[in-house]
Copies of this chain bind each other. A is one copy, B any other.
Amino acid sequence: MMEIPKLLINLKAYKESSGERALEIAKQAEKAWRETGIVIGVVPHIIDLKNVAAQVEVPVYAQHVDPMDAGARTGHIPPVLVKLAGASGSIINHSERQVGLHHISEVISLLRELDLSSVVCAPTPREAAAVSALNPDAVAIEPPELIGTGIPVSKARPDVIVDTLKAVVDVNPDVDLLCGAGITSSEDVRAAIKLGSYGVLVASAVAKSPDPYRKIRELVEPFVEITRA
C-alpha cells in the first residue's frame, strides 16, 4: 500500500476542477511531489478518476465507494472497479456523502483486500475515535461547520484536533490523522502539524485556485520544512 498523502486534494463535484482541469491539477500535484518528495494525493470526481489515474504517478483516490463486489450493481461503485481504474484508495463517509457504520466497516475491509488505502472522514473527535476502531489507514477530522468557510480548523478549533488525536491514538495508534475544513494557507497547515496532524485534507483552496500549482506548493511547504529540520 502506498503511503498516505500528507496533502490530499478533494476536487469534489466542482465544475472548476472537473474534466481537463482535474488532470491539470493532478499534474501540478505530481510536479510538486517530484520537487519536494512530499506525497500529495488527488481525489477527482469519479467521472475523471480513470483518466487522471492513467496520467499521473501521485496517488489518486475515489470520493466514495460502495460495500460490494463487482457485478449486477447498476449505479454503484465497487472498490474493485476503482482499483482497476488505477486508484490508490478512497475517501469514506465524507460529510457530503455520509454512510452507515456497517458500510464504513465493509468498505475498509474490501479496500484492504485490494491493497487500497482508506481515509475515513469524521465530524467530531468521538466519531473519529469510533471509525479508528474499524482500522482504516487514516481518519480525516472535518468539523462540518467549517467546511468551505475558509476558517481553518487548525486555528479556529485547535481543541478539536487535539481531542481527536488523543481519542484516535487511544483507540488505534496505527491510524494517521488528517485534518480538514477551512485549510487554505501554509500557516493553517503549520498549525495543523504543530497540533499533531499527520497531514491535511483540502478542497476549494486548491480546486478553485487560479494557480493550483502555487497553492499546492504553499500547502506542502510546512511538510518540507519538517523534513529539512
Contact = CB atoms under 8 A, between A and B. Distances in A.
Interface of A: 10, 12-15, 18-19, 45-51, 63-64, 68, 70-78, 80-82, 84-85, 91, 93-102, 104-105, 122-124, 126-127, 129-135, 147-148, 167, 170-171, 203-204
Nearest to A19: B84
A9 to B, nearest CB: 12
A167 B84 CA distance: 34
Contacts of A19: 84-85
A48 B10 CA distance: 20
A98 B102 contact: yes
A171 B128 CA distance: 13
Contact of A72 (B105, B134, B148, B171): B148
A44 to B, nearest CB: 11
A85 B47 contact: yes
Interface-central residue, A19, A72, A99, by most chain B CB under 10 Å: A72
A13 B98 contact: no
Given A105-B124, A133-B171, 8 more contacts: A15-B70, A18-B70, A19-B84, A50-B50, A93-B101, A98-B101, A100-B101, A129-B171
A107 to B, nearest CB: 12
Contacts of A102: 98, 123, 127
Contact of A14 (B13, B71, B82): B71
A84 B70 CA distance: 26
Contacts of A72: 12-14, 96, 147-148, 203-204
A13 B84 CA distance: 12
Given A15-B70, A71-B12, A171-B133, A96 B84 contact: no
